[in-house]
Amino acid sequence: MTDHVIETKELTVYYGHQRGIVDVDLFVRRGEIFGFLGPNGAGKTTAQRVLMDVIRPTSGRAAVFGLDCQRQGTALRKRVGYLPGELSLYPHMKADSFLRMLASLRNANVNTSFRNQLIERLDLDPSRKIHAYSRGNKQKIGIIAAFMSKPELLMLDEPTSGLDPLMQQVVLELVREAKEEGRTVFFSSHNLPEVQAVCDRVGIIRNGELVRTDRVENLTHQQFKRLQIRFRTLPATDAFTIDGVKELTRDESSVTLEIRSGFAEVMERAAGYGVEDLETLPVTLEEIFLAFYDEPDEDDDRVSA
Amino acid sequence: MLALNLLKYELFSRWGVILGWGLGLGLFGIMYVAIYPQFEDKMAVLSEIPFYKAIGIDLGSFEGFIASSLVLNVPVILAIYVIVSSSDTLAGEEDKGTLELIVTMPLKRWQIVTTKAIALTIVTFMVLMITGATSALTLIWVRQSVEVNVSTSELFVAVMSCMPITLVFLMMGLFFSAWLPNRKTAATAATVVFLVSYFAEILAGIVPALAVIKPFILFHYFDSGATVFFIGVQAKDVWTLLVIAAIFFALALISFQRRDITVGQWPWQRAKAGDTLT
């Protein structure tokens, strides 16, 4: 039996002739935090909406807990807490009533003390009408709604959007706690430091296509290396003109290189100038992500969704 | 199974509508019932106007006056509310973004449409009840000064007879709301059908050659003449309208089942896989 909570096969969505996502093959394992990365319009929200049966795929398959998203949507949605990226709430309801309504619609036995804990940790006064809240407070209501029934899968689209840095940390703690309890989190974001902070694996989506999925540490180690080399004799400016190598900075004794390929040749050439010290500089997920987006793409028509 | 809590919310959020429209239409009813004694003598003259005669309006009697004014106008006015609110229910909520959270609850789509349809039906029914009740109560007072052949219960039933045709417009609005891409288009389509139906009924009454189209006109199945008091509401007409309303409701269910929420596209605009990208 598979331990994949989410599984998609050649999942494709078109909006008319515009592309949403194309041939997305993805899986998310039980108990992991999966980060879904991409800029606005890359297709993150489209993929989540298909999984929640808000929109239907043009082709391909999508399953959550082994249940077909379209045919068995009701059963699977009982087990999912969803926070939409574009959250809209009923403005004339009080936050408290709204949360109680959602709990009853889910037929979920919401633990009141856990819900109150969430309210307290997110510093929300639930007695006010929703239209009176700021954007950040509305986002908190959405987060509480997603978490309060302790669902097996949390599907969060830009969960920290609109929150102040303190509250962002609270949300990330909640995500970590969900993982500790063995629950799965599908976390869509374009805030890369927070993805790096909490996610086990990430998928990078570009123009509707999933270009890479891997563990965060693999991505940050394998995509490219950044070396700072200190020389006895400073090499000529064209010393490292090699395919896949970019010289980033140089001073009187050292050169910093970004190396995507040709590592052996770099070492060979560097040896000729007398290497005194060599240091691997850390590469952030953000830089990896930007590197993916630096690569040219012939078909660059993105759609918003 | 209905989403009872959603129904509760839908009704709770519309209590102002029940009160506002109920009292508004109630005052409308009071006005027409109460005004008749003041103009009773002049009404006989109006009843001779050929145009009124042609379209079946009889202002020469209290019964004809009430039928032609109150009973005819109530569904026309109420149609504004049901078209606006039914088109706002699915397409409107989609435009506002609130529908996304509801469809991601563990509810089947038919449950969402049915719950909303029932809520709107209850609201419309309550508005008519208030209108009928206030008109009937006013009649008790009017009967002291004018001789009328209508009982309070007959007047109440006549006002309530507006329900089937109002229900048709409600379900039609709901269908367009589920089928068309946005609220504006849905409301426009429902309004066009309503206006065409209304004016077609008038024209068909004036132009004998158009009598043949009468069976295809919604208002043909709604009696707004004095006969509604003397003969009573025709069960055949009521059933015809209820069947039409049921058909629109079924179409709404089917359309919403197939709808891509948040996309706002016409159903035929979705491309198939392999289409050339532009």
For residue B206, name the pLDDT band (cuts at 50, 70, 90). confident
> Which pLDDT does position A119 carry in this prediction?
96
Q: Is residue B271 part of a domain?
A: no
Q: Do A84 and B101 touch (CB under 8 A)?
A: yes
Give B40: exposed, middle or buried? Use CB within 10 Å, 0-12, 13-18, 19+: middle
- Residue B277 reports pLDDT greater than 60: no
pLDDT of residue A294: 66
List the single residue in A15, A55, A105 with the smallest CB-CB distance to B261: A55
Amino acid at A195: V
Domain count, chain B: 1
B278 within a domain of the structure (yes/no): no
The structural domains of chain A, with segments of one domain joined by +, span 4-220, 224-282
CB contact under 8 Å between A77 and B105, yes or no, is yes
pLDDT confidence of residue B278: 33
**Residue contacts between A and B (CB atoms, under 8 Å):** 103
The Cβ of residue A254 has, within 10 Å, a number of other Cβ atoms equal to: 17
**Quick one: average pLDDT of A158-172?**
93
Does B84 reside within a domain?
A: yes
Sign of the dihedral through C-alpha B164, B176, B28, B51: negative
pLDDT tens, residue by residue, B46-97: 767 777 776 667 777 788 888 888 888 899 999 999 999 999 999 999 989 8
Range scoring the smallest mean pLDDT among A275-279, B136-140, B146-150, B270-274: B270-274
Give the pLDDT confidence score for residue B178 in this predicted structure: 94
For an interface test with A, the pick among B15, B105, B266 (most A C-beta atoms closer than 10 Å) comes out as B105
Which CATH architecture is the domain A4-220 placed in? 3-Layer(aba) Sandwich (3.40)
Considering only alpha carbons, which residue of chain A is nearest residue B101?
A84
Predicted confidence (pLDDT) at residue A110 exceeds the cutoff of 90: no
Residue B275 pLDDT level (bands cut at 50, 70, 90): very low
Q: Tell me how far CA of residue B261 lies from CA of A57, A126, B97, B159, in angstroms.
A: 12, 28, 9, 38
CA-based nearest residue to B252, from B110, B83, B107: B110
CB-nearest to A102 from B96, B105, B271 is: B105
Minimum mean pLDDT range among A15-29, A62-76, B6-20, B37-51: B37-51
CA dihedral for B194, B195, B198, B200, sign (positive or negative): negative
B98:A18 CB<8 A: no
Residue B127: both structure tokens together: 């508005």
Share of chain A above pLDDT 90, in %: 57
How close A86 comes to chain B (CA, Å)? Answer: 7
What distance in Å separates residue A73's CA from the closest CA in chain B?
7
B277 assigned to some structural domain: no
Pick from B5, B100, B263: CB nearest A15: B263
Kindly indicate the confidence band of residue A301, based on its pLDDT and cuts at 50, 70 and 90: very low
Full residue range of the structural domain in which residue B151 is found: 4-262
Helices (H), chain A: 44-51, 73-77, 95-105, 112-121, 135-147, 165-180, 192-198, 216-222, 263-271, 285-294
Q: What is the pLDDT of residues A209-243, one digit of tens each?
A: 998 898 988 877 666 788 899 999 899 988 999 98
Nearest Cβ partner for A106 among B9, B106, B276? B106
Give domain status of residue B115, yes or no: yes
Tell me, yes or no, whether B46 lies in a domain.
yes
Residues of A in contact with B100 (CB under 8 A): 49, 54, 84, 86, 88
Question: Would an 8 Å CB–CB cutoff place A277 in contact with chain B?
Answer: no
Q: Which residues of B touch A305 (CB under 8 A)?
A: 262-263
Architecture of domain A224-282: 2-Layer Sandwich (3.30)
User: In angstroms, rounded to a whole number, what is the distance separating the alpha carbons of residues A34 and A29?
Assistant: 8
Chain A residues inside the 8 Å CB shell of B267: none
Does the pLDDT at position A298 exceed 50? no
Q: Which residues of A touch B272 (CB under 8 A)?
A: 14, 58-59
